[in-house]
Structures are given as C-alpha cells and as structure tokens.
Structure 1
Amino acid sequence: MSKLPVILIVDDDEMNIVMAKSILEMKVRAEILTTSSGSSCLGILRQRKDPVDLILLDIAMPGMDGLQTLAAIRNDPSLRDSKVIFLTASADKETIVKASQLKIADYVKKPFIPEDLITRVEKHLNSPIEPPKVNDMFKDSDNIGL
C-alpha cells in the first residue's frame, strides 16, 4: 500500500486554514498538516523525516511572510525542490514576479473556490504519467524473436 501524499497548509488566518483543510479533506486523499507562520513552516519541514509533497503558503503573513519563507526553502538544499502553491487574496504584479523567480508551482486566489483549489492541488500532487515508449516496445519484441 502506498503512502498518502503530505500537504502542509501555512496561513496566519485560522479560518483560511479550516476552509482549505476541509475542502481538501473532502476530495483529495492526503495527510494534511497545518501551521500559522513561516518560521513554524520551516521548523516542520526541517524536522520531518519524509518530505512534504506540497506546501500551500500564504503570501501575506506577519513576521516571516510567504516570500521570505519561500526564499528560505529555496536556500535550504534539503528543501529547495519542494512544490509550493501560493495562497493570495490579492497578488500585485511585483509579488507575482518575485514568486515566479522563486519557482512557485502555482497560486490560488482567496477566498477559495473549492473546485479551483482541488484542481490545482491534484495537478501538482499527481505526477504526470509518461506515455508508453512504443518504439522501445517493438525493439524489445525484436530481441525475443517476434
């Protein structure tokens, strides 16, 4: 049996955490962790034995905001490949450019539209299936005399 993917929701607004978690629990098979700050997000990521599969990260948080948190993630060799989706109520052009430079996977606007959140999360949790290599299949059949 394969392990469930792990999603970490990071938002300073408890209502946003409750909403995102309940939306995802209805439709996405995953273990969902939550925290309310950038610094606690980094603590969770660094303490876990297994990596988190996807981070939903609020941009506007007091203390360490989402951009600072993402910069710290990208600067940590053990975390730098983490998939991050930004959560934002309003993303200005400058913030989107900075986020793109830090290689976000996607972003979701708040308030959440359930279908949008689910679709974007599933898109980044599920690895694309590679198409079969037809030429290799024929090559293999030639090697066995077919």
Structure 2
Amino acid sequence: MSKLPTILIVDDDPMNLTMAKSILEMKVRAEILTTDSGAGCLNILNQRQGAIDLILLDIAMPVMDGLQTLTTIRQTPAWQDMKVIFLTAAADKNTIVRASQLKITDYVKKPFVPEDLIARVEKHIFPPIEDPEVNDIFKALDNLGL
C-alpha cells in the first residue's frame, strides 16, 4: 500500500484554513495538515524532515508572510524544489513577480472556488504520467470506452 501524499495548508485566517482543509479532505486522497503561521510551516517542515508533498501558502500573514516563508524554504537545500501553491487575494504585479522569482508551483486566488482548488492541487500532487507505454494503454482503454 502506498503512502498518501501530504498537503500542508498555511493560513492565518481560521475560516480559510477550515474551508480549504474540508474541501480537500472530501475530494483529494491525501493527509492534510494545517498551521496558521509561517513559523508553524517551518516547524512542521523541520519535524517531518521536509516530507511534505505540497504546501498551500497564504501570502498575507502577520509576523512572517508567505513570501518570507517561501524565501526561507527556498534557502534550505533539502526544500528548494518543494511544491508550493500560493493562496492569495493579492494579485498585484509586484507580488506575482516576487512569487515567480521564488519559483511557486501555482497560485489560487482567494476567495477560492472549490473546484479550482481541487483541480490545482490534484494537478501538482498527481501529475500526468509521462511514460509512453502507459499513455498507450490509457489511449487503448479510451478507444474501448473504458
């Protein structure tokens, strides 16, 4: 039996945290962890030795915002390639440019639409298989209507 992927949701707003967690628990087969701060995110990464498959990270948080948190994540060699999706109401040009420089995986605009959140999370946790043989099998099954 394979281990479920682990998603960490980081948001200082309890309502956003609860809503994102509930949506993902209903629709995505994954272990869902939550924390309400950038420092909490870094603590969980340390405790789990980076064993997180995807982080959903709010940008606007007090003390340590999402950009500062991601900067710290990217400065840690073992976490440099960690997948991070920003959850943000801030869509200004400077924020988007800075997020791109920090190599975000994707971003979801708040307030988020459940279907959009699910689709983006699944896209990055369960990427398409790039094996030609497997793709041929899926095409054959599609042709058979299965």
Same fold (TM over 0.5): yes
Larger Rg: 1
Q: Give how far 1:111 is off.
A: 1.0
Aligned counterpart, 2:120: 120
Q: Is the 8 A contact 2:45 2:51 kept in 1?
A: yes
Aligned counterpart, 2:69: 69
Gaps of 5+ in 1: 134-146
Residue 132 of structure 1 aligns to which amino acid in structure 2?
A: P
What is the correspondence of 1:1-146 to structure 2 with a 5 Å cutoff?
1-49=1-49, 51-132=51-132
Q: Is the 8 A contact 2:50 2:78 kept in 1?
A: no
Residue 105 of structure 1 aligns to which amino acid in structure 2?
A: T
RMSD over aligned CA atoms reads 1.4
| TM-score normalised according to structure 2 size | 0.88
Aligned counterpart, 1:137: none
| TM-score normalised according to structure 1 size | 0.88
SS in 2 for 1:78: helix
Distance 1:46 1:25, change over 3 A: same
SS in 2 for 1:91: coil
Partners of 1:132 and 1:96 lie apart in 2 by 35
Question: How many percent of aligned residue pairs carry the same amino acid?
Answer: 75
Partners of 1:106 and 1:50 lie apart in 2 by 19
Aligned length in residues: 134
